[in-house]
Amino acid sequence: MPSATKSLTLCFLAAAPLALADQAAREDYADLGDPHLNAVPRTKAEATRIATVTATATDFTIAQPFEERLAGAATVRVLPDANAFSQPSGNITFEDELEFRLGNGLFRKLWVSSPSSTLASDGLGPLFNARSCQRCHIKDGRGHPPENAEDNRVSMFLRVSIMDPDGVPDDARIAEIADYIATLPDPTYGQQLQDFAVQGHASEYALGVTYEEEIVTLADGTQASLRHPTYTAENLGYGPLAEGAMLSPRVAPQMIGLGLLEAIPAADILTNADPEDLDNDGISGRPNIVWSVEFDQPMLGRFGLKAGNPTVMQQSAEAFAGDIGISNPLFPAGAGECTVNQTHCQNAIHGDDDARGTEIDAMGMDLVTFYSRNLGVPARRDVDDSQVLRGKEVFYRTGCTACHTPSFVTHRLENQPEQSFQLIWPYTDMLLHDMGPALADNRPEARATGSEWRTPPLWGIGLTEQVSGHTYFLHDGRARSLLEAVLWHGGEAQAQRDAVVNMPTADREALLRFLESL
């Protein structure tokens, strides 16, 4: 295979330019590795050019150069239907598009239980949340919370963990990560709850959710309703959860632009971190530092709602194991997420064999990773529209860019041309921010506290309804519109949320129009 079987090499940062209070704290981050392919070091001239093209906008009467090309040369045209997120990178070669299609086939593949005559497709479960990646990331877009009692909840689940009573991670290597919060899987249910099971096995639970509505009145008299969710794990199939079990609802996020986010230099992300809020702007983004199974070292977390995974490969592999119960080279357990206390599941027939080694082998994982890296980001719309430009100005002046960093330039990657040296506009700083008690799931993940979330990318957000058939946002889909999503902001974003509540109607409408253009 031309790209899928190429090996990764690490390039370590000489220094991580964090805005930290002292040099000792700065050195804690000095050895973070970048998950990139043979990055070519930037010249001083390139660094100057990059600083120029990523500088904060000051003129809001016209669009910035290349602003409509959210993913640089990898940007794709906007399709008029639900396939808008399912296109390969705009700069992919003809030969690599074949590899993309093969990866798409594995992403859409329906797995079956073992034993089966379809040996290349067996190994499902025994416990699982979905039979394929596509079942959760429908059309490569966002999942949604259950809309009624008959909804099968297939694109949403509950993560679960307990606090480690010792307060120190069992793995001494992980314990060396500063501020790492020691948690353990639930001894019976593992790290996430699966609501489906193959024949002869009991599913772990049924997801229950109820809402209470809260009316919020804006300064101009407009009323919005926020729904406060309560989640329960019902019909537990293997006894009670452990005492103190922490549950976190998760909706499947959109898939576009992942390879470009992975290609942002770690140094550029860390430059925006300000954990001590030394600039006194009320924003104190922190990097999540997680353990890389792929590289066997601590790395910057980039993916997942709390930045709990460092690479697209590990994010994909963990989803195969946890969501579908498919063993893979990074997570080779044939029983998937089954724990040692689920003996019937552990003793079941699994789909790994001598030929594959695991239920999806290394080549299959490479193909799925290549596909996930190369889902194209559609171009922006209406960048020159006067209302959109006014909304952009409101977005900047309100301080939204303190977390939603507009643009980056990716590494030069000789072996990954689709992501190489692109000016991209994801509108995320890739850092953790405390979003206040209303959005807190109260479940830590690595260095992320129970009230911290990674800033989500905003590119493609205006196409959510077209692709996914709904306008549900945030980590659990509680927000039913972009306005509701903004109104849920608290903690570090409380000032920005309050500014939206109090701004004139025309400015708020322009702000939403700008977001819809992304």
Which pLDDT does position 34 carry in this prediction?
Answer: 75
- 518 vs 515: CA distance, rounded Å: 5
Which pLDDT does position 116 carry in this prediction?
Answer: 84
Structure tokens at 196: 């489906």
Rg of the chain over Cα atoms, rounded to whole angstroms, equals: 22
Cis? peptide before 126, omega within 30° of 0: yes
In this prediction, residues 338-355 reach a mean pLDDT of 88
Please write the tens of the pLDDT for every residue from 396-449. Answer: 999 999 999 999 999 999 899 999 999 999 999 999 999 999 999 999 999 999
In this prediction, residues 501-515 reach a mean pLDDT of 98
Please write the tens of the pLDDT for every residue from 292-330. Answer: 999 999 999 999 999 999 999 999 999 999 999 999 999
Residue pair 372/103 in contact by the 8 Å Cβ criterion: yes
Please write the tens of the pLDDT for every residue from 80-137. Answer: 999 999 999 999 999 999 999 999 999 999 999 998 877 788 999 999 999 999 999 9
In this prediction, residues 502-512 reach a mean pLDDT of 98
Q: What is the mean pLDDT of the chain?
A: 91
- 123 vs 349: CA distance, rounded Å: 8
The SS3 call for residue 198 is: coil
> What percent of the chain is modeled with pLDDT above 90?
85
Domain boundaries, the chain: 39-96+259-284+374-517, 100-210+236-247+294-372
In this prediction, residues 175-192 reach a mean pLDDT of 96
Tell me the residue type at 337.
Answer: E
Please write the tens of the pLDDT for every residue from 476-497. Answer: 999 999 999 999 999 999 999 9
**339: CB partners within 8 A, 6+ apart:** 185, 186, 187, 188, 189, 190
Which pLDDT does position 352 carry in this prediction?
Answer: 75
**β-bridge partners, 233:** 207
Using the structure block, give the residue that is written with the tokens 């997680």: 290
The SS3 call for residue 26 is: helix
Which pLDDT does position 33 carry in this prediction?
Answer: 66
Q: To which H or E segment does residue 27 belong?
A: helix 23-27
Angle at 266 between CA 402 and CA 417, to 5 degrees: 110
Per-residue buried b or exposed e for 331-370, using 16+ beta carbons within 10 Å of the residue's own CB: beebbbbbbeebeebeebebbbeeebebbbbeebbbbbbb
pLDDT surpasses 50 at 23: no
Query: Which of 206, 108, 191, 114 has its CA nearest to residue 156?
Result: 206
Residue 165 main-chain phi, psi, to 5 deg: -60, -25
pLDDT surpasses 90 at 19: no
Which pLDDT does position 32 carry in this prediction?
Answer: 67
- 35 vs 408: CA distance, rounded Å: 16
